[in-house]
Homo-oligomer: A and B are copies of this chain.
Amino acid sequence: MALDHAILVSLLEKPGSGYELARRFERSIGYFWTATHQQIYRVLKRMESDGWVDVRDVPQQGRPDKKEYSVAGPGRDALSAWLHAPIEPESVRHDLAVKIRGAAFDDPAALIGEVRRHRQAHTDRLEHYRAGEARDFPSSGADGPPDAERELQHAVLRGGIAYERMMIAWLDDVLATLARFEAGR
């Protein structure tokens, strides 16, 4: 049930509407957590009725009004409790790995295109992350007091970058393995 907590963190970083949260989940938060607008609206409604968040109607010009959510006391407490409780290392689910093992019983060569597509997607994401890093974290050295929020956001982004690099290298490894079959025939 960490979607609740992901939303609370995002609202602490900056209050916003369900729609805006959905945008963020396509961008920065989405690097490590995905959610559709449906999920977000549902959770926001539940958290509102539980008193975890406050709502404020915000009239806008040139576009429909929105409801801006911000974290209330009980929501902060709930988040704090979760932050202090241990969680289990996440379970991984890689469709592509299933495909790779399955390809042995079908047509390994047919996998090459698919792996290349995934490699491209990860390359794109890596570039996207690196552009974001250059934009949002330009100074790598010591300049002023350490800002926890900023430093930790950067650390998470570095994790995303490391993940994409690892994936690209691994997919190259897979492609090399597949090429060996081609050569061996």
Q: Which A residues fall within an 8 A CB radius of B?
A: 2, 5-6, 8-9, 12-13, 31-34, 76, 79-80, 82-84, 86-87, 89-108, 110-111, 114, 117-118, 121-122, 125, 145-146, 148-149, 151-156, 158-159, 162-163, 165-166, 169-170, 173-174, 177, 180-181, 184
Closest B residue to A118 using CB positions? B89
Interface contact B181-A148, CB-CB below 8 Å: yes
Would you call the interface of chain A mostly helix, strand, loop, or mixed? helix
CA distance A175 to B95 in the complex (A): 31
Given A2-B98, A108-B148, A163-B166, are A32 and B155 also a contact pair (CB < 8 Å)?
A: no
Residues of B within 8 A of A99 (CB): 5, 82-83, 87
- Nearest CB in chain B: distance from A52 CB, A: 14
Residues of B within 8 A of A110 (CB): 83-84
A-B contact sample (14 more), CB < 8 A, given A32-B93, A84-B106, A159-B174: A6-B98, A34-B92, A34-B93, A76-B105, A83-B99, A83-B106, A84-B110, A87-B114, A92-B163, A104-B149, A151-B177, A158-B170, A159-B170, A163-B170
Residues of B within 8 A of A13 (CB): 101
Interface contact B104-A148, CB-CB below 8 Å: yes
Residues of B within 8 A of A180 (CB): 146, 151
Residues of B within 8 A of A166 (CB): 162-163, 165-166
Interface contact A90-B83, CB-CB below 8 Å: no
Name the 7 nearest CB pairs between A and B, nearest first. Answer: A32-B97, A104-B149, A34-B91, A32-B94, A166-B166, A9-B102, A104-B148
Interface contact A158-B173, CB-CB below 8 Å: yes
Residues of B within 8 A of A165 (CB): 166
